[in-house]
């Protein structure tokens, strides 16, 4: 850790330790609901590691309060989501929920958080409604809305002069909403989406759909896949010979945390996302170094989002000197915060979604390298949100 960061952490710990001690406060109970199995398992691990890294950098406490973790493997399975989240809310009585990766599971979490008035920080899932129609003062997101990377990639595709696009994704909220964002920007920029292809989550039998792409010969293909499914899709697209004839663009999840497994099939792929591995800032460099030292793995966008979820909680707790009973003041501070993220500083929209730059990236070796800005300070419209 750099000296400046150590001193900040020490000051934060000293400031709030006395107040927390005076209250006789026990630990803050954090319920991590993330996938530990299935196609999104690695994403869940990266988020958990990112969250814990931030807490560790603050000396293992936030605002003088110990953090106690409770964990549930949500399996990225929406049908089990309500039961799973209730284990954390009702059985473990957590103070704050942190989760999850899959939009369908996160929608059930948001409903349970609203019903029980539990503080929720979403460290990945982009379901638009979470910071749209379902928004609430105690629901925050440290990641993105599905619309954001979709829209940014649509801007890139139109800017490259492509006119006819096909889209391909899993048939659930994340895929549908990302494609919707892509289509909005691409068609605004003069292009036309000629066909949307999809398959059920988490299926990876892409062959028939790839055959259809080859037959239609669009100028470009836009894809949303992530985790294990993204590895298989990128390899299959290459193996089908399509990379040579039809450019493939994606929201950045297509190549994030997956490049080693995708090998040569992913090299040179361009995507848009709110993070690039090689952002050359002291903040990102220190984060990546600490992450690699601690977990013997490279950080990715999921780790960043977990790290920033912990930062958001830390900012809220510091504002009330660790006194969780002052939850309204804590939530107000979180809503107004500027988060000093490895991705670059960001603020939250009125519906509590990050307002952030979306980068154009290119897969080079093990990194998604920064190529430029795809959309500056992009704010999700927060459609339907009434706080």
Nearer to ligand BEZ, 143 or 183 (CB): 143
Beta strands in the chain (DSSP E): 28-34, 61-62, 65-73, 96-98, 119-122, 139-141, 164-170, 192-199, 220-224, 248-251, 270-273, 339-341, 344-348, 354-364, 367-378
Least distance between ligand BEZ and beta carbon 176 (Å): 10
Q: What is the rounded CA–CA span in Å between residue 139 and residue 377?
A: 21
Q: CB-wise, 309 or 331, nearer to ligand BEZ?
A: 309
Nearer to ligand BEZ (CB atom), residue 49 or residue 124: 124
Nearer to ligand BEZ, 118 or 251 (CB): 251
Q: Residues 65, 28: contact at Cβ < 8 Å?
A: yes
Minimum separation from the CB atom of position 34 to ligand BEZ (A): 11
* Closer residue to ligand BEZ (CB): 218 or 228: 228
Q: Which two tokens stand for residue 280?
A: 């050359």
CB-based contacts of 96: which residues, under 8 Å, 6+ apart?
Answer: 28, 29, 30, 31, 118, 119, 120, 121, 313
Per CB under 6 A, residues contacting ligand BEZ are: 40, 101-103, 124-127, 146, 174, 226, 253
User: Smallest gap, in angstroms, from Cβ of residue 174 to ligand BEZ?
Assistant: 3
For residues 103 and 271, which CB has a smaller minimum distance to ligand BEZ in the complex? Answer: 103
**What is the closest distance, in whole angstroms, from the C-beta atom of residue 293 to ligand BEZ in the complex?**
26
- Can you tell me the distance from the alpha carbon of 170 to that of 233, in angstroms, rounded to the nearest whole number? 11
Q: How far is the CB of 4 from ligand BEZ (least distance, A)?
A: 33
Asked if 28 and 63 touch (Cβ cutoff 8 Å), the reply is: no
Nearest to 218 by CA among 195, 251, 249: 195
Q: How far apart are CA 266 and CA 259, in angstroms?
A: 7
Whole-number Cα distances in Å, 347 to 140, 281, 378, 379: 12, 18, 11, 10
Cα–Cα dist 161/187, whole Å: 12
Quote the least distance from Cβ 296 to ligand BEZ, whole Å.
23
Task: Find the helix or strand (DSSP H, E) in which 185 lies.
Answer: helix 173-188
Nearer to ligand BEZ, 261 or 286 (CB): 261
* Beta carbon of residue 102, minimum distance to ligand BEZ (angstroms, whole number): 4
- 378 sits in the region (left: phi over 0; alpha: psi -120 to 50; else beta) called beta
3-state secondary structure (DSSP) of residue 372: strand
DSSP state of 135: -
Q: Which CB, 52 or 141, lies closer to ligand BEZ?
A: 141
As measured in angstroms, the least distance from the Cβ of 230 to ligand BEZ is 9
Q: How far apart, in whole angstroms, are the C-alpha atoms of residue 343 and residue 356?
A: 9
Q: Judged by CB, which is closer to ligand BEZ: 30, or 174?
A: 174
CB of 320 to ligand BEZ, least distance (A): 31
Q: Nearer Cβ to ligand BEZ, position 40 or 287?
A: 40
- Inter-residue contact 125 to 100 (CB < 8 Å): yes
Q: Rounded to the nearest whole angstrom, what is the least distance from the CB of residue 48 to ligand BEZ in the complex? A: 15
């Amino acid at each position: 850790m750099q000296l400046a960061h150590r001193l900040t952490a020490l000051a934060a710990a000293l400031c709030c330790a006395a107040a927390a001690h005076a209250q006789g406060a026990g630990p803050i109970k954090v319920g991590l609901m993330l996938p530990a199995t299935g196609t999104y398992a690695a994403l869940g691990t990266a988020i958990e590691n990112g969250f814990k890294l931030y807490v560790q950098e603050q000396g293992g406490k936030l605002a003088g309060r110990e953090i106690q973790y409770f964990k549930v493997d949500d399996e990225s399975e929406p049908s089990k989501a309500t039961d799973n989240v209730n284990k954390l809310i009702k059985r473990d009585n957590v103070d704050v929920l942190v989760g999850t990766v899959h939009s369908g599971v996160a929608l059930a979490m948001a409903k349970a958080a609203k019903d029980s008035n539990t503080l929720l920080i979403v460290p990945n899932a982009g379901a638009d409604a979470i910071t749209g129609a379902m928004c609430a003062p105690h629901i925050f997101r440290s990641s993105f809305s599905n619309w954001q990377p979709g829209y940014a990639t649509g801007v890139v595709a139109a800017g490259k002069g492509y006119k006819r696009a096909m889209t391909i994704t899993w048939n659930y909220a994340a895929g549908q909403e990302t494609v919707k964002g892509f289509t909005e920007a691409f068609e605004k920029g003069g292009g036309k989406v000629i066909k949307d292809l999809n398959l059920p989550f988490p299926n990876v039998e892409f062959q028939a759909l790839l055959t259809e792409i080859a037959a239609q010969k669009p100028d470009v293909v836009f894809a949303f896949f992530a985790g294990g499914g993204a590895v298989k899709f990128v390899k299959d697209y290459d193996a089908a010979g399509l990379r040579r004839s039809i450019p493939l663009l994606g929201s950045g999840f297509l190549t994030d945390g997956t490049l080693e497994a995708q090998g040569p099939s992913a090299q040179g792929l361009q995507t848009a996302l709110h993070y690039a591995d090689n952002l050359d800032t002291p903040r990102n460099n220190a984060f990546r170094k600490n992450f690699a030292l601690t977990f013997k793995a490279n950080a990715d966008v999921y780790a960043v989002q977990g790290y920033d979820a912990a930062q958001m909680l830390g900012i809220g707790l510091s504002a009330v000197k660790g006194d969780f009973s002052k939850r309204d003041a804590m939530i107000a501070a979180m809503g107004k915060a500027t988060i000093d993220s490895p991705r670059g500083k960001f603020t939250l929209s009125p519906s509590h979604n990050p307002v952030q730059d979306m980068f154009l990236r290119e897969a080079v070796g093990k990194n998604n390298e920064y190529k430029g800005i795809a959309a500056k300070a992009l704010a999700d419209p927060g459609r339907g949100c009434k706080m």
